[in-house]
Chains A and B, each alone.
Chain A
Amino acid sequence: MFQLVLFNVTNGLIIGAFYVLMALGLSLILNLSNVINFAHGNFLALGGYIAFVLTPFIGFWGALVVSPILTAVFGFVIERLMIRRVYPRDPVYSLLLTFGLAFIIQDVCRYIWGPNGLPMTIPDVLAQPLTPDLFFITWYRVFMVAIVILAIAGLFAFLRYTRVGIRIRAGTLDLDTVAALGVNVGLLRSFNFAVGSLLAGLAGVLAAGQIGLNPNMGDDVLMPSFIAIIVGGVGSLTGTLLGGLLIGVAAALTTVVWPAASEAVIYVIMLIVLIVRPRGLMGEEGMLT
């Protein structure tokens, strides 16, 4: 029984870590550019497939670094070529655009790599269980959580201490003023979009090592990421972080007592937040609403 509980809790933590990683990327883009990236789950898949292709040449460790960067470059190009054009327009257009991109990327992945799942090889060191007793917790799971924590810490440090990061946060609050102060806001948004894509790509590599690859591997994470943002409050990255952890852990704990309801509990949390505190846990009244 203890093992079952522990198994589900670690599972929940890992799933929660993915929610957070995805939701933070979505949230970054949403806050600065007012765009919901429906293709974010497909950026995840793309990151996984790029790692799959690169691993035979540069190994897992190399792919872990290079694949997210390539995903970020891809996101940057997409933003420059298409998404940038719809910023001045009604938000419905950016939604439809990323929606269409999601269809295209998923279908192209299916075309290139086939509709069936592909395995991803991870280093032997990581494939080992922690101890014989805890056979279900591999080092890979520990490693995933560690990388996610590192990535999140890196993101917050970047936003806090670098000039670009500070500009991104300032732009979230008042883009017009940031532009008036001489910042190239267009480039800032493209770069910010790339950072969001980077996080999705990283999530993709990590997920590929755990569950393998398939063209719609990102779909299941997209909706919980939306909910993490709603629960945490639009406009607050810390809120998104909390929201993602909250629904991840809640889903995991529910799995212990009532497995069938683990997804339902996420929706219930969202409804409660919408009723009791419509702006979200850390959301500020008036932000984007």
Chain B
Amino acid sequence: MSATTAVPAPAIALRPWLAAAVVWALLLTVPFWLPLLGGYTALAGRVLVLGLAAMSFNLLLGFTGVMSFGHAAYFGLGAYGAGLTLKYLAASTPLAMLMGVLLGGLAGTLFGLLIVRRRGVYFAMVTVAFGQIAFYIAYSWNSLTGGYDGLRGFSRAPINLGFTTIDIAGNDIAFYYFLLVAFGIAVGLQGLLLASPFGRTLLAIRENERRARFLGIPVERHIWLSFSISCAFTALAGALYALLNNFADPMGLHYTLSGEIVIMAVMGGMRAFWGPLVGAALFAVLQDYISSMTVNWMSFVGLIFVLVVLFFPRGLLGMLQGRGSQ
């Protein structure tokens, strides 16, 4: 980490408005240009959801300097929270999202208390193991969660605004824009958070934890809050994922997905605000393409991991931003 102390946080300072404008222009027009390239709208929804998960995860890895390797747990808890709400409580999409966020966010907040003093690989190992607890519960509690087969038998409900109803259940494009609105609100909040004094303090902890401590910053409390917030946003992504597929399965909690979330963030560029979204888009499209081409897609996904680590460790946006920070 010592090599990175020279230039703090170039990502946010570097032409932020231009990057945001490009991203939003592309996202808003997806239903118009994606079919021309042979894609389908559900894939775009997947990119948004995974992108939100990776960006939420990156609040920790990229902007607090803490490495969680179990974020699939909160993603999956969000998905199950939403699915179970729709199935057993009420056919209300906003309520489902709220319950998903609460379930994943609270689990993260409680667990964060236990691990907030740990660092480095040990932090990663404990988060993996905790993630497997969530996986194990979803896998074994057959009567509630559907076990190995996953939770089925629910579907997203149209949104009633009083004066009109938005049919996100039947209309794919309407649902894409619904996802985009949720994504926009979440990402906007994340941007505000990172620009706030709290966010700047997280960066200070990332750059030099000891110095931050000497300045009187309660480091553990900040990491705990950052972890909880990150988990809550990841749970929102999971809830949206359940809505997207009308399905929640235990593989959504498995550490394999945790690893994929990490590689998305790294592949896109973990020091750039939009990096994880770019990484998620790349990863989702590659995975979609490769798994349609060969049954040995796992080798190729593994190869992506290895190649990114060995040859593109700074990620796509990290390379585009030049050599300023290393």
Contacts and interface: CB of A to CB of B under 8 A. Distances in A.
Interface stretch (A137-145, A181-189, A223-231): A223-231
A82 B61 CA distance: 23
Contacts of B259: 38, 95-96, 99
Interface in B109-151: 114-115, 117-122, 124-126, 128-129, 132-133, 136, 140
Contacts of B69: 95
B contact face: mostly helix, strand, loop, or mixed: helix
B178 interface: no
B298 A288 contact: no
Interface residues on B, range: 35 or more
Given A85-B310, A97-B305, A99-B305, A289 B119 contact: yes
Contacts of B296: 107, 110-111
A96 B309 contact: yes
Given A93-B313, A270-B129, A289 B122 contact: yes
B132 A223 contact: yes
B303 A36 contact: no
Interface stretch (A126-134, A161-169, A172-180, A260-268): A260-268
Interface centre among A90, A101, A270, A288 (most CB of B within 10 A): A90
Interface residues of A, number: 45
A288 B119 CA distance: 7
B308 interface: yes
B252 to A, nearest CB: 17
Interface string B296-326: 1011011111101110010000000000000
Contact of A36 (B125, B136, B305): B125
Contacts of A274: 114-115, 126
Among the interface residues B133, B303, B304, which one has the most CB atoms of the partner chain A within 10 A?
B133
Contacts of B140: 260, 263-264
A96 B263 contact: yes
Contacts of B129: 223, 226-227, 230, 267, 270
A104 B299 contact: yes
Nearest to B115: A274
B67 interface: yes
Interface of B: 1, 61, 67, 69, 114-115, 117-122, 124-126, 128-129, 132-133, 136, 140, 255, 259, 262-263, 266, 296, 298-299, 301-306, 308-310, 313
Across the A-B interface, the 5 shortest Cβ-Cβ residue pairs: A100-B305, A103-B302, A104-B302, A107-B298, A107-B299
